[in-house]
Amino acid sequence: MSVVITGAKETKRLKPIKGGNLQADGTEQTLLEFEGIAKIVGYVDLSAMTVGDTVIIRQYMKIAEDADYKKYAEEALADIQPEPLLYITPKETDVAILVTLQQTTGTLKRYPHNFMRED
């Protein structure tokens, strides 16, 4: 299934690439690792978070095939989220992208997530 986004200048198709329901275990866990050329967008559902929970979302990129991942974004979120659906803004990659989640405090929760690529 794909979603069509129609704009004044162009029509784009979003194709699902990875979704799931990650059970946090206290370590840094992979939500998405994508290799190739694409524009990636996604969502992480933080609605299970309660008072005392802290989650860190990290984003990494490879900018050369023989390179290691380099972190370019990190966001810590704590307690109940008034807007629990976290949008991972579009990122372009021509090598690889990695998005991780780590729950560092609180009772470990499940985090539904969904990522798509734009064609």
pLDDT digits (tens, 9 = 90+) for 48-107: 999 999 999 999 999 999 999 999 999 999 999 999 999 999 899 999 999 999 999 999
The total domain count for the chain is: 1
Q: Is residue 71 part of a domain?
A: yes
CATH number for the domain including 69? Answer: 2.60.120.680
Sign of CA dihedral 84, 110, 28, 65: negative
Q: Is residue 24 part of a domain?
A: yes
Q: Is residue 1 part of a domain?
A: no
Of 70, 47, 46, the C-alpha closest to 59 is: 70
Q: Select the more confidently predicted residue: 3 or 54.
A: 54
User: Domain range holding 24?
Assistant: 17-118
Tens of pLDDT, residues 24-56: 999 999 999 999 999 999 999 999 999 999 999
- In this prediction, residue 10 has a pLDDT band, given cuts at 50, 70 and 90, of low
Q: Is residue 5 part of a domain?
A: no
Q: Is residue 86 part of a domain?
A: yes
Q: Is residue 2 part of a domain?
A: no
Q: Is residue 34 part of a domain?
A: yes
Q: Is residue 11 part of a domain?
A: no
The span from the CA of 97 to the CA of 61, in Å, is 5
**What is the total residue count of the chain?**
119
